[in-house]
Amino acid sequence: MTVILSVLVPTPAHSGVGGPLSYLSEEALPKGTLVRVPLGHRELLGIVWDGETEAHAQAKTGLILRPISGVLHPLLALNPAWKSLIRFTARYYQRSEGEVALAALPPYLRELRPEQLTRRLKRKALAVHGKTAAADLAPSPGIAKHLPPALPKGLALTTEQEAVLQEIDLQKGPFLLFGSTGSGKTEVYMQAVQRLLQAQPTAQALVMVPEINLTPQLEQRFRERFEPWLGAGCVVAMHSAMTPAQRLNSWLAAHNGQARMVLGTRMAVLASMPHLRLIVVDEEHDPSYKQQEGARYSARDLAVYRGQLEGAKVLMGSATPSLESWHHSRAASQEKPAGRYVRLHMPSRMGLSALPLVRRVDMNRQPRRTVFAGVLLDAMRERIGLGQQILVLLNRRGYAPVLHCPSCHWKSQCPHCSAFQVFHKLDRTLRCHHCSHTSAVPRACPECGDTDVRAMGRGTEQLEELLATQLEGVRRPDGAAPRIARIDADSTRTKGALENQLAQVHAGEVDVLVGTQMIAKGHDFRRVSLVAALDTDGALFSSDFRAPERLFSLLMQAAGRAGRDAQWSEQFGHACEMWVQTHYPQHPLFEALKRHDYPSFAEKQLQEREQAGMPPFSFQALLRAEARTQDVAQSFLKAVSLAAAELPGADRLSLYPPVPLGIQRVAQVERAQVLVESASRTALQQFLTAWQPLLRSARTQHRAVLRWAIDVDPLVI
Ligand SMILES: [Zn+2]
Ligand SMILES: [Zn+2]
C-alpha cells in the first residue's frame, strides 16, 4: 500500500517553504522516522513530520509526488517531545522547522545512506558487546544491566550544598543556584545527576557548559565519577570541536538511551534524549549560550522551556546570574508577582580563603600614558618574590588596536570593514578581527612614506612585552627570573595549545599570566594571589546597556580566580587582591565589586532597566539587513517598517528607525538594523510571525538586499 508522508527537509529559511513536503512511501512510517528523500537533483536527510492535510492538498493539486529513497531503519523515531521542542524553537526564533530540525542533527548523519548507518551501528555494537547478534542492534532503552553495587563516592557535602540538593529534590524548579566562585556548584551538579540516575534506571541528564575547551577538566571529572559505576560510554560529550564521527557517536548514544549523561555546549540543548529528566546549565549568564547565526536561540532559555515540556528539572548556576534569571528569581512582594525560578543560595567558599580584597587605582592621579601604576607594579614584584602567581586581564588581543602615522594621520583601516586592522607584532601582521583580512605591517606609512608609524593603544601582546621589561631584576624564591605567559585567542589557535598552557600555569611554571576573558573562566589556578584588570572603563559608559552587567560578571569571575588555596595563602599571611585600574574609582559598579555584592549591583541595574523599559521589563527583537550599500539596506528596512503598521500586535510595540550597526561594514557588506520592542512577549511574537511573509515578499522587490534575519531576544544591540 502506498501512503503519502509529510517529510521535513532543510529548506532555506527565506524560501517560504517552511513546512514539510509530501513524498510517497511503500510503508506507513511513524512520525519522527529519519528518511532519505530526493529534492531537485539532490538526496537529503528528512524527518517524517506531522501535517497530513497539507500533504493531501498537495496530492489533490495533481502534483506528481516522488517516493522516498530510503529509511534509516535501525534508528528509533525522534519522539514527540523533541518534535515539539523543534516546533517551538522555530516559531519563537522565527526560522523554518526544517532548518532548525535538520541543523539539530549531527552533520555526519545527514550524509549517511541507510546501509552505511546500519554497518556503522553493527560495528559499534560489536565493539561494545563483543558478539551481539544483529537483531539486538535495535536501540535499547539503555537500562544499565550490570550495575555494580558501589555508588560513586562524591565529595563530602557542606551544609549549604546538602540544603540546596534537598530543595532540588523537594521542589519543581526551575532553579537558579546563586553560588560564589568556589562554593562547590560543580559538586552539586554531580550529586544532583547521581541522585537522579540512581533513582531512575533509564533517566538521562544533560549538563551544559558555555565553552567546553575552557573546561577540559570537567569532562574528565564526570567520567571518573560515573564510568566506574555505570560503565564506559555512560557520559558523552557534545560540542563543535569534536570530529563529525565523534559527534555522530555521541548523538546516537544519547538518542538510543545508552548515554545517561550528555555534557555539551549550547548545541546539546537540541539533542534527542528520550529519557531526559534533568538539565544543568552551568554559568547560565554566559553570552555563548546564545547562538549567533541561523536560528539565534538562547540555549539557556530553551533549556527552561524543554524542562517544562519534558518534565525535566532545570538547574541553572552562576556566581553572577544574568539579570533576566535574577529577575525571574526575585521573591514575591506586594507589587511584584513571585518569580518563576526558585533561587538557591550558596554564599560560602569551600575550603578557600575569603574573597579577595578589591583595590582601585585612580588613573587620574597617574602620569599620562601609564600602563601599570607604580603601586600595582610594586605589589606584583612582591608577590613574585613570594612565589605567588598573578593574572593580568585585558580584554583586547593583539599588540595594538590600530597603527597610525603622526605625519599624515593615516590609520590601519581594514579595506573591507569599517574597523581597524589590529597590529600583531609577533608575526608582523595587521589583522582585521571582523573579516580576518591580513596584511604585512608596512615599513613606512602607505600614504606619505614616513617611517615613524606608531602603535596606538594596547593589547595583550604589548602587555606581555611591557611586563618583561618592568619586572626585570625581580626574582622568584628560587632565584630565577619570573616567567610571563599569555592566553588569548591568538596564543591558543593550534589544537591542544590551550591545554598545554593551562597545564604550565597549574604546574607553577608561569608566574604572570596575561590574557583576555579566557583566563577569567573556570580555571583553578591555585596559587594566584593577585588579579589585575586593565582598561575596563569603556564598559561603564557603553551604549550597549548590557555592558556593565558583562563587566561586573567578568571582574567577579576574575576575582574568583584568586585565593583558591586558603592554606597556602594563609601561610604567607597575605590577603588575595584584585586590582582595578580606572578613571572612575567611585563608580557604583566598583563599589559593589569591592563588597563582592552581586545582589545590590543586580537590584540597581534592574531598577535602571525598569525605569528605561529595557529587558527583562520589555522584549526585543532585531531585524537586520545586509546589502552592498547602506542605502539599500536601510531603504529595505524603512519599507518593511512602514508596511508593518497594520500588522497584528503592531499597536503594542515600538519600531525604531533603521540605523547602521556599530561596525556597519564587514567584508564589504553594509549592515543596518531595526529594533522592535514591546512590553508584551505575546504581542512581539504575534507581530514577528505576521511580519515574516511581508519580509519575504519585500525581499523579492528589493533585489539588491543580500540577506535579512530576525534576532529574537538579542544580546547585543
Ligand atoms: Zn603618513
Ligand atoms: Zn575587515
What is the whole-number distance in angstroms between the Cα of residue 665 and the centre of ligand 2?
A: 8
What would the DSSP string read from start to end of 458-469?
A: --HHHHHHHHHH
- Winning range, highest mean pLDDT, from 41-55, 144-158, 422-436: 422-436
Please give the pLDDT value at position 129: 56
* Amino acid in position 675: L
Dump pLDDT digits (tens) for 277-295.
Answer: 999 999 999 999 999 988 9
What is the whole-number distance in angstroms between the Cα of residue 706 and the centre of ligand 1?
A: 36
Burial class of residue 477, CB neighbours in 10 A (0-12, 13-18, 19+): exposed
Please give the pLDDT value at position 334: 53
For residue 665, which ligand has an atom nearest its CA?
2
What is the whole-number distance in angstroms between the Cα of residue 369 and the centre of ligand 1?
A: 23
What is the whole-number distance in angstroms between the Cα of residue 53 and the centre of ligand 1?
A: 69
Dump pLDDT digits (tens) for 76-107.
Answer: 999 999 999 999 999 999 999 999 999 999 99
What is the whole-number distance in angstroms between the Cα of residue 433 and the centre of ligand 1?
A: 23
What is the whole-number distance in angstroms between the Cα of residue 439 and the centre of ligand 1?
A: 17
Residues with Cβ < 8 Å from 446, sequence gap 6 or more?
410
Residue 355 in grid coordinates: 574573597
Residue 302 in grid coordinates: 530553551
341 and 324 in contact (C-beta within 8 Å)?
Answer: no
Dump pLDDT digits (tens) for 444-462.
Answer: 999 999 999 999 999 999 9
Please give the pLDDT value at position 685: 96
What is the whole-number distance in angstroms between the Cα of residue 418 and the centre of ligand 2?
A: 7
What is the whole-number distance in angstroms between the Cα of residue 420 and the centre of ligand 2?
A: 7
Average pLDDT (17-45) is: 90
- Residue of 278 and 576 predicted with greater confidence: 278
Please give the pLDDT value at position 576: 87
Residue 218 in grid coordinates: 570537567
What is the whole-number distance in angstroms between the Cα of residue 416 and the centre of ligand 2?
A: 5
For residue 669, which ligand has an atom nearest its CA?
2
Q: Tell me the pTM.
A: 0.91
Three-state SS for 261? Answer: strand
What is the whole-number distance in angstroms between the Cα of residue 48 and the centre of ligand 2?
A: 43
Taking the alpha carbons at both ends of the chain, their separation in whole angstroms is 55
For residue 410, which ligand has an atom nearest its CA?
1
Average pLDDT (663-686) is: 96
Average pLDDT (589-608) is: 95
What is the whole-number distance in angstroms between the Cα of residue 438 and the centre of ligand 1?
A: 20
Burial class of residue 248, CB neighbours in 10 A (0-12, 13-18, 19+): buried
Please give the pLDDT value at position 131: 42
**pLDDT range class, residue 218, cuts 50, 70, 90:** confident
Please give the pLDDT value at position 74: 81
Provide the 8-state DSSP code for 635.
H
For residue 439, which ligand has an atom nearest its CA?
2
Average pLDDT, the chain: 89
442 and 382 in contact (C-beta within 8 Å)?
Answer: no
For residue 447, which ligand has an atom nearest its CA?
1
| Other beta carbons within 10 Å of 166 | 11
Q: Which domains does the chain have, with CATH numbers?
A: 3-123 (3.40.1440.60), 160-346 (3.40.50.300), 357-397+460-609 (3.40.50.300), 400-457 (no CATH), 619-712 (3.30.70.360)
What is the whole-number distance in angstroms between the Cα of residue 428 and the centre of ligand 1?
A: 19
